[in-house]
A and B are shown apart, each in its own frame.
Chain A
């Protein structure tokens, strides 16, 4: 078993879900409480990665991160190399790819916080940010854990986006799902099975954990 690919994947998934935990909160707050009439458009954009083929997302990200785009050019000027085919390129792609898996459970749990508690907090002198920190966040812990775990699990298994923007560079961008693909290509079914089994078990354990902490709801989707 290629432990390098394994630990690279764990590192990627941890980093991505940590970034999403921080970046997803303000997005989820806005989605949960904004009354803007065009909000549904933003919600659609956030949800896009669920339905979009990973290759489509990967392709546009590759273009966006490449040296011909403003972002890619800026990054190249700053660091001397392109973002595509690097670990950090992979992180950016994965963050976008897993965004709905973090944001949607966050939004769902924010929306279940009783509005009266927010009003009470406000009349007790708390600003919106204080209310967020002291009422909404503590009451949304199951949703936050769900979002963190789901984005972690989702990043573990991604394939298309990684292949498009990361390629297959050992120790840099080769994740376990690509490793499995490589082993199958090389007819090493036993090795492929090993890795696949580990991924299967990890995914099952993580999902059991998510359903476990949300077991009162008993819904098909763990965050509903």
Chain B
């Protein structure tokens, strides 16, 4: 809740009108499992990320908006046009909604070449006009050289561009992107998004971009809506929502590897910090005191602390002359490697996950069992209400 209130102050909502409103309730059940999507949100022109774990209801929401499935209840409307309203019994069929939809697997027509794919949605235009429109959009997405190729003959990134061009050729009122870039490498991905932004600079339609990848949220979005188990749990700018999460659920989604119960044991107003005891659930359990940012809380208050594994420094000797206030001795328990990232588990009374590079491991000669120090900046400790 805190995030939502805050986002309204910080987001540009006051300046532009929402151009798209969606309130959707839809119950899906298969066998004994049932799932309810119940979301309401408004978005402005520009890229809004729809973020959530798999199964949060992101794709279902897009399908409701596109008219591929019918919500049980709700209203979906642009500023000047209602496409679904359960009370007024309005439900435009999907082919009359003018919605650009780029599917996860792109769904390019395999029997048509690139040009024919792009022209698919604008066949009602006259020949010349259609040709011009198709070439203009192909130019915007840098695929003019591929027009005679079949989708099977071009690369993944190129297919992505074709799918975007095809969806945008119909001049849609909103663009829905369902994790379309998941399979692409970062440079390809950002080049495509740059072209999309450039195209949209003049048109200013809302773009709803679905992802479960937190890096994409920070890199691509102007706004983010966070879904969890069919419900909206936050909306705001990516920075606010993802880096200063006030709710543990978002913290988990945003990728805090270390989350602990903590108790406020001292307020140090002069220093602008508080001291929290982490990990103590009963008296005999080991615990660690750390310095955290000051928030409105009283000594004895219970809260939770999240620390990103990438925000923790690791040293083999006790460092001095350093600004960080939390310098914690411990033992290196284990190291696991995933791609090029190494996750070290360090016991400092409680166990913390720390991200390292392979180079750091080698130059420090790190081995399980060795003594290490962890360095955590006060402001890397994020406090959350439970």
Contact = CB atoms under 8 A, between A and B. Distances in A.
Q: How large is the interface on A (under 10, 10 to 19, 20 to 34, 35 or more residues)?
A: 10 to 19
B101 A120 contact: yes
B103 A116 contact: yes
A121 interface: yes
B103 A119 contact: yes
Interface of A is mostly: helix
Contact of A122 (B68, B100, B105): B68
Interface string B156-188: 000000000011001000000000000000000
Contact of B109 (A117, A119, A123, A127): A117
Contacts of A123: 66-68, 94-95, 97, 99-101, 167
B98 interface: yes
Nearest to A131: B95
A125 B101 CA distance: 11
8 contacts: A120-B101, A120-B109, A123-B67, A123-B97, A124-B170, A125-B98, A125-B121, A135-B109
B110 interface: yes
A127 B103 contact: no
B185 to A, nearest CB: 24
B111 interface: yes
Contacts of B100: 123
Given A122-B68, A126-B121, 5 more contacts: A114-B107, A120-B108, A121-B109, A124-B166, A126-B95
B78 interface: no
A139 B107 CA distance: 13
A138 interface: yes
B111 A124 contact: no
A123 B103 CA distance: 11
B199 interface: no
A139 B66 CA distance: 24
A40 B135 CA distance: 47
B94 to A, nearest CB: 4
A120 B94 contact: no
Residue among B94, B95, B100, B167 with the highest chain A CB neighbour number at 10 A: B95
Interface of B: 66-68, 93-101, 103, 105, 107-111, 120-121, 124, 166-167, 170
B111 A120 contact: no
Contact of A126 (B99, B120, B166): B120
Interface string A100-137: 00000000000000101101111111110000001100
Contact of A121 (B66, B96, B120): B120
Contacts of A134: 120
A134 B110 CA distance: 12
The 7 tightest CB contacts between A and B, nearest first, are: A124-B121, A120-B107, A116-B107, A123-B101, A122-B94, A138-B111, A122-B95
Interface of A: 114, 116-117, 119-127, 134-135, 138-139
A119 B97 CA distance: 13
Contacts of A138: 111
A114 B106 CA distance: 12
B95 A116 contact: no
A126 B66 CA distance: 13
A121 B24 CA distance: 24
B179 to A, nearest CB: 13
Contacts of A120: 101, 103, 107-109
Contacts of B67: 122-123
A127 B95 contact: yes
Q: Which residue, A114, A120, A123, A127, has most C-beta atoms of chain B within 10 A?
A: A123
A127 B68 CA distance: 13
Scoring A121, A122, A127 by chain B CB atoms within 10 A of each residue's CB, the highest score goes to A122
Contacts of B170: 124-125
A123 B98 CA distance: 7
Contacts of A117: 107, 109
Contacts of A135: 109
Contact of B120 (A116, A124, A127, A139): A124
B111 A119 contact: no
A139 B110 contact: yes
A91 B383 CA distance: 81
Contacts of B101: 119-120, 123
A119 B106 CA distance: 11
Given A119-B68, A119-B103, A120-B103, A125 B109 contact: no
A124 B167 CA distance: 7
